[in-house]
Amino acid sequence: MGVPNKVLTLVLIREEYRILLGMKKRGFGVNRWNGFGGKVEAGETIAQGAKREVEEECGLTLTEFEEVGRIDFEFVGEPQILEVHIFRGDKYEGKLQETEEMRPKWFALDAIPFHSMWPDDAYWFPIFLRGSKFKGYIKFEGHDKILDCSLEELETT
């Protein structure tokens, strides 16, 4: 039995024609446009962790959001799998703000900056944007090279 998975959240807030991303200013994934999210803390559900991270990272309070996907990420040489639970944010309150962690920005759906994002996004964003649920497994070598990618679309809403 290997090391238990590290459970993480990833929230993509989307409106009809735009999606909210954050430029990561430090730490894991720095200098890439990302979804909002992070670790799930003891005593909170995965959904509560997702909501908390959004508040901490960009000041918005999610009022309607849904888990739509799950991707297990393996990084060569690291025994721990990152089990990322992906949420679509539908409704929110509050004022969007830059934090020490993230610089938020809305992007038109036909202008998503994939060249400045994690390379896996180009694989699963199209599934996410057409409203499907999905699950997958992606193996990285370092932070730029994808060795394996398998994604399964589970349902189209």
Residues in contact with ligand 8WT by CB under 6 A are: 10, 29, 34-35, 73, 82, 118, 120-121
Q: Of 92 and 112, which has the nearer Cβ to ligand 8WT?
A: 112
Q: Of 3 and 43, which has the nearer Cβ to ligand 8WT?
A: 3
| Nearest distance from C-beta of residue 59 to ligand 8WT, angstroms | 18
Q: Which two tokens stand for residue 80?
A: 């721990």
Q: Of 40 and 82, which has the nearer Cβ to ligand 8WT?
A: 82
Q: Of 92 and 101, which has the nearer Cβ to ligand 8WT?
A: 101
| Nearest distance from C-beta of residue 64 to ligand 8WT, angstroms | 21
Burial of 12 (0-12, 13-18, 19+ CB in 10 A): buried
Q: What is the DSSP letter of 41?
A: P
| Nearest distance from C-beta of residue 97 to ligand 8WT, angstroms | 19
| Nearest distance from C-beta of residue 73 to ligand 8WT, angstroms | 5
Three-class secondary structure of residue 14 per DSSP? strand
Distance CA 91, CA 51 (A): 12
**Do the Cβ atoms of 99 and 23 come closer than 8 Å?**
no
Half-sphere exposure of 3 (CA within 13 A, CB side): 11
